[in-house]
A and B are shown apart, each in its own frame.
Chain A
Amino acid sequence: MQGSKPLGISSFAMLKLATAIIELNISVLLFFLGNPFPTMFPSLDAGLTMLIALLLGVLDLIIAYNLWNGQAFGWIMSTMFLIIDVILRVTLPILFGVMYIAFAILSELDIAIMYYTTRPKVMLFFGGETIREIYEKFKVEMQPQIKELKFTLHLVKKSPLSIVGAAIVLFYVVIAVFAPVLAPPGHLSQGGNPYMMPKYGILLVPQPPSPDHPFGTMEGQYDIYYGCIWGTRTAFRIGLSVVAASLIMGLVIGVISAYYGGWIDEILMRFTDIILAFPGLILCMAFVVVLVPMGMNRLDAVMLALVLVGWPGYARLIRSEVLRVKNEDYVEAAKSVGCSPLRIISRHILPNSIYPIIVSATLDIGTMVLTAAALSFLGLGADPGYADWGWIINLSRNWIYGSPQNPYQYWYTFVYPGVFISFFVLGWNLLGDALRDILDPTLRRK
């Protein structure tokens, strides 16, 4: 190992870190707010750009981390990064327009960094290790992670259902990301919310599928196809946000309860019990009914209600896992070394207890969407006209049974959204099952 890292690389690392943070923030913004920046192609929406910004952010984080540790990249990795970077950065300004040009200039700088750090002469200036050495070191350091990854892939290959599940989820991801392309919100002239479904007329009777409306229309002439496609985005939004929020809340409460024990544990757990004592859906409805008049957006109210009802499950789960791990020798060893409780929890307890939670969370993503759809079906979900699968089925309530001669006359009103929901939930369930099989430590250690 060489001595201290040279000055040059750390400042580059800081620069990289700064751009990484900015890009990650942009992607988060795009996720929650939609696209606030004026773009050259208005139909290309937040989804794609968000993904690109996310990728860039992650890439930059990796580069920053390695530069900080005094490692530059071997020439193979550098070229790869270079190519990816150039492609992404050229496309982004086109998408984002003027606002991003400033960042594009900054990013040209780090292209230069990566290029120069692979040149031997410059390398000498930066620490004196040859490219080959750096590459070998990189390989050695990553070795255990690579081995673990290979083992994980092997386990994945052994269970074909996991691949099916992943494929289904990926399919939905693609639909969600490319929603503006698949179902262009052309009905909006300027601005407007693409999540509101377009109406093509005022007829109350649903119309069967036709070239104009591939899945048919609902009561009030909402386009079902549009609703299903954009509903995918809503589904992801609901599923991921609700699960993430309730997971975090449950984690915090569960960990504190388990780690400190005693009275804190009693109080928190009784509080959890109280919430669990209520039937979930009913409590949800109660929350929605209270929150909406307070001025909240309907869908946000549903999400908040789901979070408030969902966190106790995670709290109990993580509490039992933490209790198990808390008594292990290595936790006590960490205490004997002088670790603070925060460090013990974050570095020792959580990584060893989190896996059942991850599995449960993955399974819950599907369940949450199902619950939200149920709420919409009952009329307590999204606003009328919002692209949400449950809401489509709500509207088709009256048309499930058609005329006596042809009972399935209006099948398209509930079959299409129904199929979308079922497969969505199925995909996440299979993925969750696969995750459980893969991450279960007793199964892993052969």
Chain B
Amino acid sequence: MSEKPLVYIDDLVLNFYTYEGVVQALDKVKFFVKEGETLGVVGETGCGKSMTAFSVLRLVPPPGKIEGGKIFLRKDGKWLDILRQREGYLRRIRGNDISMIFQDPRSALNPVYTVKDQIGEAIKLHRREEICAKIIENYGEGKIKLSNFERKMLEKMKKNPRALSVRFTSKMPLLRGFKKKFDAEVEREVVKLLRDMRIPDPERVAEMYPHELSGGMAQRVVIAIALSCSPKILIADEPTTNLDVTVQLQILTLIRELKEKYNATVHYITHDMGVIAELCDRVVVMYAGNVVEMADVMEIFKNPLHPYTKALLECIPRPGREFKSIEGFVPSLINPPQGCRFNDRCPFRMDICLKEKPDFVKVKEGHFVFCHLYSGSGGSK
């Protein structure tokens, strides 16, 4: 795990324009994800954790609009501001550099296509050149018999799949052999991927339709699609919330294995502190569109600083103790309260909390808090 940040979100502002008013969903959100680490983003419904992830991929649904801030991705040694790129370029990044998996695996899979088709689609989209090159190389070693014509077609396909010659010949009955070889290679890749996901009997599963899969299996397929192009970072939006606890264990074990094997960077969104403790290296806590605390996982559990984090940890039901909850309700984001958004529920509320927004303060190395209680401790981020 290196110290270099891979994704850096800087002062992100996101607003939704609805009939009832402007929902200020994200209010200058700021955090980063380091290469090779698993970052947990935790918070309750409506705090904006999913929307942050969508913003990174620029998939925010209307009537939402990103109104400010920058999102940096480190690609090829350079910083790329995702919010300033063209849509076409972004399509190359989605699935290739940044992948996302969602909460309900069943609805993330298209019910009329087999598993093979869906994973294959992602591969064909992003790894076409690599596959073509692979087939051509193997020709020399006698593994695959390629005619001259087929080799020429594959070269063309590698360079420009939309060329008329390629498209035309791939539909002709006798000439489309090269396309078949390409599909076969893609299928081999799919089976390899499924095996990596610890799916038993991958050849059979590849031919199945999503409705034939159980929840855990479906989620693995979704992860397979997400990882098919070896993205730099995987964003997981509550992938195990809808699953049974034993299946959740299987998926978390899988993610941990992938993390170790491929040094994957994972941005994991959840509301379950137990999963955070299991899986994550660093934690970001969000509330009502703000980041309120960011620290290592050990720090967060041992030494939570922000009142909300403290309250959240207290809320976890423990036997023998009476149940603790946080008084009050999450404020409406259409007219968010002035000053700190947690001020009406905070037991340590001061006067300044009602008027001014706090600063993001570095309390110690790697531990940041967004709270007036710690403003005095100097330092900035």
B18: chain A residues within 8 A (beta carbon): 446
Quick check: is B3 within 8 A (CB to CB) of the other chain? no
B348 CB–A CB distance under 8 Å = no
For A150, the closest partner residue in chain B by CB is B19
Instruction: Looking at the assembled complex, report how far the CB atom of B25 sits from the nearest CB atom of chain A, in whole angstroms.
Output: 14
| In the complex, residue of chain A having the shortest beta-carbon distance to the beta carbon of B16 | A446
Instruction: Decide if A154 is an interface residue (CB 8 Å cutoff).
Output: yes
Using an 8 Å CB-CB cutoff, how does the interface string of B221-240 with A read, 1 for contact, 0 for none?
00000000000000000000
Does A271 lie at the interface of the complex (its beta carbon under 8 Å from any beta carbon of B)?
no
Q: Considering the complex, which residues of chain A in the window 149-183 have a beta carbon less than 8 Å from any beta carbon of chain B?
A: 151, 154
| Nearest-neighbor residue (CB-CB) of A444 within chain B | B19
Number of B positions contacting A (CB below 8 A): 3
CA distance A446 to B16 in the complex (A): 11
B19: chain A residues within 8 A (beta carbon): 151, 154, 446
CA of A151 to CA of B20, assembled, Å: 9
Number of interface residues of A (CB under 8 A): 3
Q: What residues of B have a CB within 8 angstroms of the CB of A151 in the complex? A: 19
Closest CB-CB distance, A11 to chain B, in whole Å? 45
Q: Is the interface of A mostly helix, strand, loop or mixed?
A: helix
Q: Which residues of B contact A446 (CB under 8 A)?
A: 18-20
Closest to B18 in A: A446
Tell me, rounded to whole Å, the shortest Cβ–Cβ distance linking B16 to chain A: 9
Within 8 A of B (CB), among A402-446: 446
Distance (Å) between the CB of B86 and the closest chain A CB? Answer: 30
Which of chain A's residues have a CB closer than 8 A to the CB of B20?
446
Closest beta carbon of chain B to A159's beta carbon, Å: 14
In the complex, the chain B residue whose C-beta lies closest to that of A151 is B19
Q: How far is the CB of A297 from chain B (nearest CB, A)?
A: 50
Residues of B within 8 A of A154 (CB): 19
- Give the nearest-CB partner of B63 in chain A: A446
Nearest CB on B from A279, distance (A): 34
CA distance A42 to B135 in the complex (A): 94
Question: CA–CA, A154 to B19, complex, Å?
Answer: 9
- Interface flags for B257-275 (1: CB within 8 Å of A; 0: not) read 0000000000000000000
Nearest chain-A residue to B23 (Cβ)?
Answer: A446
For chain B residues 17-31, which have a beta carbon within 8 Å of chain A? 18-20
Shortest Cβ distance from B19 into A: residue: A446
Distance, CA A446 to CA B20, complexed state (A) = 9
- Inter-chain CA distance A177–B20, complex, in Å, is 40
Closest CB of chain B to A209's CB: distance in Å?
A: 50
Q: Which of A100-159 contact B (CB under 8 A)?
A: 151, 154
**A151-B18 Cα distance, complex, nearest whole Å:** 12
Query: Smallest distance from the beta carbon of A158 to chain B beta carbons, Å?
Result: 10
Return A205 CB to nearest CB of chain B, in Å: 60
- A154, B20: Cα distance in complex, Å: 11
B20 to chain A, nearest CB (A): 7
- In the complex, how many angstroms separate the beta carbon of A152 from the nearest chain B beta carbon? 11
Interface residues in B41-78 by Cβ distance below 8 A to A read: none
Measured between alpha carbons, how far is A254 from B378 in the docked complex, in Å? 72
Q: How far is the CA of A269 from the CA of B6 in the complex (A)?
A: 61
CA distance A446 to B334 in the complex (A): 14
List residues of B (195-242) whose CB comes within 8 Å of A's CBs. none
Bound CA span A446–B19, Å: 7
Complex: A141 Cα to B176 Cα, angstroms:
71
How far is the CB of A260 from the nearest CB of chain B, in Å?
29
- The CA-CA distance from A214 to B19 in the complex, in Å, is 49
A33 to B20 Cα, complex, angstroms = 48
Assembled-state Cα–Cα distance A151/B19 (Å): 8
- State the CA gap A424–B18 with chains docked (Å): 35
- How many angstroms from the CA of A106 to the CA of B86 in the assembled complex? 76
| A to B CB contacts below 8 Å, 5 in the list | A151-B19, A154-B19, A446-B18, A446-B19, A446-B20
In the A-B complex, the 5 residue pairs with the smallest Cβ-Cβ separation, listed nearest first, are A446-B18, A446-B19, A154-B19, A151-B19, A446-B20
